[in-house]
Structure 1
């Protein structure tokens, strides 16, 4: 598993056997994080989608977008973000996923990434921009230990490939107003799947 190149202020959420999962706040200067957020909000290729749940079609409670790193249409801002993340994480990222949580009503249910859509033993890096949102990280096996992690603007969450076997993660709805947030997720997909994810 590739790791953070710089370990300053890194919080370890899970150990190397079941994770690792690490969190590093303030990796991006506030003014730059704000600029990236505004640019992605305006220029991102945002989509709405639906999915079957409880035998009915429901809207996914957030906007999303996907880019291949090799896509000639990859926005310039994402090229800068990718270069920045690569200074901190040694991994051959080839896929960028975006999620736009517009307000407190947007969320993502607890889940783990599908391992067949990832290159084994490569990490997932998640850069947060905009408003702070809580991520719930929960161990799958008893005693189901749970961490509530505040993902701040300019922070980086790094999850090991094996963490998907042992933990679920999600962003719950909130009972109070909160501003918009964009997550930028970097993954290493098998070459045949890098396009369109």
Structure 2
């Protein structure tokens, strides 16, 4: 899977009925990206968790936290980030999920977002902060074309709701050392589900 178009910081990875998937570089300045990263790393309500895999309980290889946009205790940095995202994507986001990849050992396996936890046909937007990590995007059915996308600090990745039906995405572990990265995911969840996040 190759990018169809790259112009003025916009890279269209998928632009047909299976997408869209679009990458926007340099949405915020490096200085602002660092300030937001430092604030979220220090202030985020970070948790470790575990899940059953292959009939045993294993630790999830990253930290995470979630916020409802309507929550009055939503950190101010996330309100600022939401305002920037809405300048690029006109969507009524009501849920913000964060993942912290502490080093090269943290990862997320190839997956698609669970559609029953999303409002139909609303996109997902990821804001990247901190170290650059590679996202692998692969089509589910043949031809199983694959793109490796470098998610840089201050960038946005937009994935259309329909893309979850056709593509998996993941952040693989690395062999070489890398600093921490925070992924800030903006979603529209059904009303009752958004209250839990």
TM-score in terms of structure 2 length = 0.95
For the 8 Å contact 2:9–2:26, the answer to whether it is kept is no
Deviation digits for residues 23-46 of structure 1, max 9, x if unmatched? 011111110000000000000010
Pairwise CA RMSD: 0.9
Q: Distance in 1 between the 2:11 and 2:40 partners?
A: 27
Structure 2 stretches lacking a partner, 5+ long: 1-6
Q: Secondary structure at the match of 1:65?
A: strand
Shift of 1:72: 1.1
Q: Distance in 2 between the 1:16 and 1:68 partners?
A: 31
Higher mean C-alpha deviation, range 10-19 or range 40-49: 10-19
**Alignment-derived partner of residue 79 in structure 1:** 79
Q: Distance in 2 between the 1:122 and 1:54 partners?
A: 32
Deviation digits for residues 94-121 of structure 1, max 9, x if unmatched? 0000000000000000000011110111
Deviation digits for residues 108-138 of structure 1, max 9, x if unmatched? 0000001111011110000000000000000
**Alignment-derived partner of residue 122 in structure 2:** 122
**Alignment-derived partner of residue 14 in structure 2:** 14
Deviating 4+ runs (over 2 angstroms) = none
**Alignment-derived partner of residue 153 in structure 2:** 153
Asked if 1:110 is matched to 2:110, the reply is yes
Aligned pairs for 1:1-197 (under 5 A) are 8-197=8-197
For the 8 Å contact 2:125–2:187, the answer to whether it is kept is yes
* Residues matched between the structures, number: 191
Q: Secondary structure at the match of 2:195?
A: coil
Shift of 1:73: 1.1
